[in-house]
Amino acid sequence: MTQPVGQKRAVVVGGSLAGLLAAHVLTEHADRVTVVERDRLHSEPVPRPGVPQSRHTHVLVDGGQRALDELLPGFMDELRAAGSPRVGMPEDMVQWQGGRWFRRTTASMYIHTGTRPQLELLVRQRVLANPAIEVVEGAEAVGLLGNAARVRGVLLRERGAGGQERGARGAEGAEPLAADLVVDASGRGSRAPQWLAGIGADAPYEETIDTGLAYASRVYRDRSGRLGEHARGFNIVADPTQPYGAVVAPLEDGTCMVTLSGLRGAEPPTDDEEFTAFAKLLPHPVVHRWLRDAEPLTPAYGFRRTANVRRRYDLPGRRPAGFLATGDALCTFNPIYGQGMSVAARNALALRDALADPRRTPTTRRVQRAVLASSGQAWDISAGADRKMPGADGNAVAAGVLDRPAGWYLGRVIERCGTDPVVGDAFRSVLTLTAPLTSLFAPRVAGRVLFGPVVPAPTEPPMVREGVSEPVRP
């Protein structure tokens, strides 16, 4: 595979959300952008083997919505037109967290709960409409070209062609693809650390926190009438005092995705009958009752790779120019917090801004630091919550000096966020990546957190919004 003389070429390894958005940004700086994807891509919104989480609940939070609209103007209008459910929080969801039910007050933010394949297909159609982007399907990267000073391309092999990955010089049956820039967007299973070692560069230091959480999901049709006009789903949040969680969220075709989760030693089953029975372990029977009456439409699919992993390409070391990482290949989170798609979009925005910054030369290290920084708040949320879970392990589990007082304060935030609209709005803004963590300490919020009373919460699942008198059986 040759590169025309005088043209600049970028290669993006991975054709999922992070890779597509990175490719879109890079068209402003390269004559040709090649996306290398292991799977064969479909023209319909169907799950792909390379995205094993695509059969599970996905949410696009407000920070991700804003980023996608900035990268692809009008995208959220397209997503809504395709039927993606827009769910108001806390108005539309019946939520239990921290031992309390949330009041269903007027929504202060919205999430989209449609399927991952639908969203990814719409992004792919928008991005690949640019003739400067080409896709090589059914191929996998098996190494890097270049040396510890500069990456000059990738080695590609047809998927399933056999052989072992042996770095830049020994990948059997591989073809070179020259490039001025290589972006690793290959996901949480990235092999880039090994590829870098193969050309004499340093692999990144990896920070990990793993609770052992596992989850299982299947699609249902509501037959009880409990969900619809008055409530659109359920959200039971696990915490250090109880290991079980559940999400029931609407999909674009009118069905519901159900995800049940449990920490290490309390993993949900994928057997049909046991899946329903597992919901009895939740702190309230409302989800089990709904499951018992709902119609299952798919088998249950399990997922267990939920560790938080941050690859510190920003730290000192032999880092070659011309290589960047983004998306889950850079920083991956426990998926239960619903941050991955939004962070992928925010990474692409950071890449765009760092490359276009007229004040600074966009060196590889400077750009990589900017992309990593755009993942920082999501990491603080996910890793901060997971390091408190019983049985959490990994080299980043140890608490820092400020974690204890911050944890005390955040505990008071969680006590109040379900019943105090001011605290709740601030908390949701942080979780949806539209406001910094420091906004939780703003005077108006801090006064309520430090001195305000804990408002009584509903004693039973609030199946109707506040102000609606019509009762609905839980």
Taking the C-alpha atoms of residue 69 and residue 65, their distance in angstroms, rounded to an integer, is 6
Q: Tokens 């426990």 belong to which residue?
A: 334
Taking the C-alpha atoms of residue 379 and residue 383, their distance in angstroms, rounded to an integer, is 6
Give, in order, the Cα–Cα distances in Å from 367 to each of 99, 324, 375: 42, 8, 13
> Closest Cα partner for 384 from 247, 235, 211?
211
Q: How confident is the model over 213-238, as a mean pLDDT?
A: 94
Position 6, amino acid: G
pLDDT confidence of 360, banded at 50, 70, 90? Answer: confident
Q: How confident is the model over 357-380, as a mean pLDDT?
A: 94
pLDDT at 246 > cutoff 70: yes
Taking the C-alpha atoms of residue 53 and residue 95, their distance in angstroms, rounded to an integer, is 23
Q: How confident is the model over 49-67, as a mean pLDDT?
A: 94
Cα 242-245-246 angle, rounded to 5 deg: 155
Residue 472, pLDDT score: 47
Q: How confident is the model over 398-414, as a mean pLDDT?
A: 86
pLDDT at 64 > cutoff 60: yes
pLDDT confidence of 403, banded at 50, 70, 90? Answer: confident
pLDDT confidence of 6, banded at 50, 70, 90? Answer: low
DSSP codes joined into one string, 319-336? --BTEEE-GGGTEE--GG
Q: How confident is the model over 401-415, as a mean pLDDT?
A: 87
The model's pLDDT over 13-37, given as tens digits with 9 standing for 90+, comes to 999 999 999 999 999 999 999 999 9
Residue spans of beta strands (DSSP E) within 147-296: 151-158, 175-178, 181-184, 205-209, 214-221, 233-236, 244-250, 256-262, 295-296
- CB of 333 within 8 A of CB of 343? yes
Q: How confident is the model over 321-346, as a mean pLDDT?
A: 96
Q: How confident is the model over 61-65, as a mean pLDDT?
A: 97
Residue 469, pLDDT score: 62
What domains can be seen in the chain, in order of their start residue? 9-54+123-208+307-381 (3.50.50.60), 213-303 (3.30.70.2450)
97-106 residues labelled b (16+ CB within 10 A) or e (exposed): bbebbbbbbe
Residue 76, pLDDT score: 98
Q: How confident is the model over 274-294, as a mean pLDDT?
A: 96
Taking the C-alpha atoms of residue 8 and residue 375, their distance in angstroms, rounded to an integer, is 28
pLDDT at 399 > cutoff 80: no
pLDDT at 226 > cutoff 80: yes
The model's pLDDT over 147-175, given as tens digits with 9 standing for 90+, comes to 999 999 999 999 865 544 444 444 667 89
The model's pLDDT over 103-139, given as tens digits with 9 standing for 90+, comes to 999 999 999 999 999 999 999 999 999 999 999 999 9
> Closest Cα partner for 334 from 370, 383, 296?
383
pLDDT at 361 > cutoff 90: no
Reported as type and span, the H/E element at residue 175 is: strand 175-178
pLDDT at 102 > cutoff 90: yes
Distance of CA 208 to the CA centre of its chain: 16
Q: Is 185 helix (H, G, I), strand (E, B) or coil?
A: coil
Q: How confident is the model over 3-9, as a mean pLDDT?
A: 69
Mean pLDDT of the chain: 93
| Between 4 and 197, residue with greater pLDDT | 197
Helix axes 340-356, 364-373, angle to 10 degrees: 140
| Bridge partner residues of 470 (DSSP) | none
> Closest Cα partner for 107 from 122, 130, 89?
89
Residue 468, pLDDT score: 72
pLDDT confidence of 7, banded at 50, 70, 90? Answer: confident
Residue 167, pLDDT score: 42
pLDDT at 465 > cutoff 60: yes
Q: How confident is the model over 409-415, as a mean pLDDT?
A: 94
